[in-house]
Structure 1
Amino acid sequence: MLSGACLLTAALLILPLPATAAPLSGVPSVIDGDTIKIHGQRIRLNGIDAPESAQLCLDAAGKKYRCGQKASLALADFLEAHRPTSCVEVDRDQFRRMVAVCTAGGVDIGEWVVKKGYAVDWPKYGAGFYDKAETDARKAKYGPWAGSFDRPWKWRKQMTVN
């Protein structure tokens, strides 16, 4: 026989989920090239991955630079110039951060960051949604596409192995 708690849990699992919550809007602060914070809520931009703050890339001349830091600063400048920012939650990640599609001044932030070469389409999570923006950045040799770099998820994996 099931306990009351088990029955309640089972009932909650089969009940329809509530409609998507209203967008979270406000003035964002930038955590890194793919994460912002609005009203104390960390928000991971859906479908993209930006270089980490400590990640180094090589420019066209082969000189190292902090491409993750550059991505963060570019995103901060963009968000400062394009207000307001609004995010619609699509998921939660393993750290329980909101994963969202966000716009600033009517522009899809994820698409802008990828198209400018500050982040890449993340096939594992974005199903190629920003693939065209990435192709455009690669052809234009924006950001790390001008030189060479490790995809952020590969760089993180290397850092955990070392």
Structure 2
Amino acid sequence: MKTAILVLALCFAAPATAMPVCGSGKRVTCVVDGDTFWLGGVKYRLKGVDAPETHGKCRNERRLAKRATNALSGFLGRGEPHLTTYGRGYYGRVLVAVSIGGIDAGEWLIQKRLARRWPDGDKWWCP
């Protein structure tokens, strides 16, 4: 009994692990960029959010895209995500609102200035 309690305590004491960033190969559970991720083999796109593109037009966009990707990766590693889906978007991705611990991922990225509201937010990352 003491061993089970110790193992359980160690599980809760361990720091959260970021969701991996996608590489080449099959994508199952990983972050593509600041507004797109795979979870359990399903590709999701944050609804109402647009993050800078990793192959963007200017150096600042590409730099911010890397930060946004890493931020979403870390956010999704914080705990069990709560997903609310809204159908499919233009590229067939499932549109989703994601929250962990009551914090919405899209709003969190916008507040950190790593994303903008879509479609009417200012695209400020390239002058």
Question: Which category describes the TM-score, using the shorter chain as reference length?
Answer: 0.5 to 0.7
Cα offset, 1:117, TM superposition: 0.7
Residue 75 (str. 1) matches residue 76 (str. 2): no
* Structure 1 residues 105 and 94: CA distance shift in structure 2, 3 A: same
C-alpha distance in 1 between matches for 2:33 and 2:101: 20
Moved over 3 A (4+): none
Alignment root-mean-square deviation, CA: 2.6
TM-score (norm 2): 0.66
TM-score (norm 1): 0.53
The aligned residue for residue 50 of structure 1 is 51
Higher helix share: 1
Partner SS, residue 110 of structure 1: helix
C-alpha distance in 2 between matches for 1:39 and 1:107: 21
In the alignment, structure 2 segments of 5+ residues that lack a partner are: 1-18, 20-28
In the alignment, structure 1 segments of 5+ residues that lack a partner are: 1-26, 59-63, 125-130, 135-143, 152-162
C-alpha distance in 2 between matches for 1:49 and 1:33: 8
Percent of residue pairs identical: 31
* Structure 1 residues 65 and 37: CA distance shift in structure 2, 3 A: closer
The aligned residue for residue 111 of structure 2 is 115
* Structure 1 residues 66 and 100: CA distance shift in structure 2, 3 A: same
Number of residue pairs aligned between Structure 1 and Structure 2? 99
Residue 33 (str. 1) matches residue 34 (str. 2): yes
The aligned residue for residue 84 of structure 1 is 80
